[in-house]
Amino acid sequence: MNLEDHPTVKRYREKVDAIAASQAPEILDTEWLKQQALEAGADDVGLVDINRPELSDYRTDILELFPWAKTLVSFVSRMNPENIRCVSQAVRDLEFISTQKESDGIARKLTRALSQKGIGASNYACGFPMDLDKWPGKMWPVSHKPIAVAAGMGHLGHNRNLLHPRFGNFVMLNTVLIDREATAYDSPLYFNPCIKCKLCAAVCPVGDIGNDGNFQFSNCFTHNYRDRLGGFSDWVENITSSKTVRDYRKKVADPETVSMWQSLSYGICNKSSYCLAVCPAGEERIGAYVTDRKSYLQQVVKPLQDKEESVYVIPGSDSEAHVARRYPHKTIRRVGNGLRPKSAQNFLDSLPVVFQRDQAEGLDVTYPFTFTGEENVKATLNDSQRGDQC
Ligand code: B12
């Protein structure tokens, strides 16, 4: 008997043919693809072509990891604003942790559904894990914010978060990368939902959001991420540099020790996120602000401003001065943030994000740098925060 005529082989062949016939086409129908994302649980979804000009700063990192990526599916998952606005950090963190898990679950469900149809699909974490061997550089090859903007999910507001036209900034972002094209792509939203109320600047305990839109990355990072990444390495150094238990307790208060335990056990924690909490943008949220601003300030903004809490700052930073001036009832905790450049190039790259512009006010200087040895770099730094390298 010819092997091809054997019933088992025949059945196998028929199955293979049926699978091949059910395979997705080379170019995917946009509406079908979006429907798959919505069915997986996304609250809104948009598609971007990897070659879009807006992604030029981000494309290399994405393609290094996913060289086959052609279409990016950007989707949002809603958060409950009442939880994010709560003065309890536990309630806020639970909302962040739950939404991130949900978002990664949706990405997983979508990639699985697509891969069952023979479509190559992958996803990078909504938040963590990240590629920490790149620390303290850019550890996230997929930047969800610019992708979401290009996919029409919203625009960045004064607080640097993506504001969705309906849900405001109460969304977590995620991206699924796909190995084929789609029939149509989305464009950026035609308006920015940010109304420039600047409540985000008014509420930030460390003053990292300037009225002019400047964002001071390292001050946000030092406070918000006290129990993660660089804050964690600073904690370890506090342990190892303490000669006695008493010495350790002078550096780290008991609630701070158990806070580290909680962060390690249960996931991300943010000391603030107030910039997100107070934002009134988005169809679903704006009504409460425009109809009665006074009550809005009283109910949403003031409780966060009045909260007595520890605020983590680098000694001598703009944020230390800000807390002392604006929030005398909050406790200043002077700490390290673990950001240590690992190379001359990394040092130069980090300068704009660690620059303390208030402390440097009135300064008019130019620093020439020449690095020799393993790296040969020349750079000129001036007070416009730019490093012009030769
Ligand atoms: C890095 C990062 C941060 C950094 C920098 C934030 C920033 N404005 O870029 C820090 C730690 C400060 C941060 C804080 C927060 N983040 Co964040 N973060 C990210 C991350 C990983 C990448 C952001 C990004 O693409 N930046 C690049 C571009 C768009 O920004 P940029 O201005 O050009 O460059 C900045 C960064 O490169 C940064 N930077 C430079 N060098 C280094 C080095 C290191 C070690 C780090 C960590 C950062 C860093 O400084 C630059 C200036 O701000 C994304 C997740 C992801 N994979 O995309 C989430 C993400 C942007 N974060 C998010 C959230 C929710 C927050 C917080 C609200 C968390 C909290 N609960 O407090 C705050 C908000 C602070 C703010 N107002 O921006 C959400 C935003 C959701 C939304 N609706 O927009 C994201 C998209 C996560 C998600 N999947 O939803 N975040």
Residues with CB under 6 A from ligand 1: 96, 126-127, 136, 140, 142-146, 159-162, 169, 171-174, 215, 217, 220-221, 224-225, 270, 272-273, 275-276, 353
DSSP state of 301: I
Q: Which two tokens stand for residue 40?
A: 């997986």
Q: Which two tokens stand for residue 243?
A: 């000669």
Q: Which residue has the tokens 């054997």?
A: 6
The letter for the amino acid at 213 is G
Q: Which two tokens stand for residue 174?
A: 């995620």
Ligand 1 center to 19 CA (angstroms): 42
Note whether 318 and 324 are within 8 A (CB).
no
Compute the distance between CA of residue 362 and CA of residue 343 in angstroms, rounded to an integer.
29
pTM for this predicted structure: 0.93
Specify the pLDDT at position 387: 39
Output the CA–CA distances (angstroms, integers) from residue 152 to 23, 51, 55, 298, in the order listed. Answer: 29, 16, 13, 33
Specify the pLDDT at position 386: 41
Which atom of ligand 1 is nearest the CA belonging to 224? 72
Compute the distance between CA of residue 51 and CA of residue 192 in angstroms, rounded to an integer.
23
Specify the pLDDT at position 10: 86
Q: Other CB atoms closer than 10 Å to residue 108's CB: what's the count? A: 13
Give 66's Cβ-side CA count (13 Å radius).
22
Note whether 154 and 102 are within 8 A (CB).
no
Specify the pLDDT at position 352: 85
pLDDT tens digits, residue range 220-233?
Answer: 999 999 999 999 99
Ligand 1 center to 224 CA (angstroms): 11
Nearest C-alpha neighbor of 366 from the set 383, 352, 343, 354: 383
Q: Is the dihedral of CA 327, 331, 332, 338 positive or negative?
A: negative
Residues of the chain with pLDDT under 50: 385-390
**What structural domains and CATH numbers belong to the chain?**
14-178 (3.40.109), 199-334 (no CATH), 344-389 (no CATH)
Ligand 1 center to 184 CA (angstroms): 29
Q: Other CB atoms closer than 10 Å to residue 208's CB: what's the count? A: 26
Nearest C-alpha neighbor of 187 from the set 51, 316, 46: 46
The letter for the amino acid at 62 is I
Give 172's Cβ-side CA count (13 Å radius).
25
Residues 6+ apart with CB under 8 A from 62: 50, 55, 69, 72, 141, 142, 177
Specify the pLDDT at position 111: 98
DSSP state of 298: I
Please give the backbone phi and psi of residue 387, each rounded to the nearest 5 degrees, phi first: -115, 105
Compute the distance between CA of residue 48 and CA of residue 266 in angstroms, rounded to an integer.
34
Note whether 75 and 45 are within 8 A (CB).
yes
Task: For ligand 1, atom 11, name the residue with the nearest CA.
Answer: 221
Compute the distance between CA of residue 320 and CA of residue 314 in angstroms, rounded to an integer.
7
Residue of 94, 161, 314 to test ligand 1 pocket, by largest number of atoms within 8 Å of CB:
161
Specify the pLDDT at position 389: 36
Note whether 330 and 205 are within 8 A (CB).
yes
Ligand 1 center to 233 CA (angstroms): 20
Which atom of ligand 1 is nearest the CA belonging to 171? 83
Ligand 1 center to 284 CA (angstroms): 24
Which atom of ligand 1 is nearest the CA belonging to 170? 83
Ligand 1 center to 240 CA (angstroms): 30
Ligand 1 center to 293 CA (angstroms): 29
Which atom of ligand 1 is nearest the CA belonging to 103? 89
Task: For ligand 1, atom 74, name the residue with the nearest CA.
Answer: 273
DSSP state of 368: E
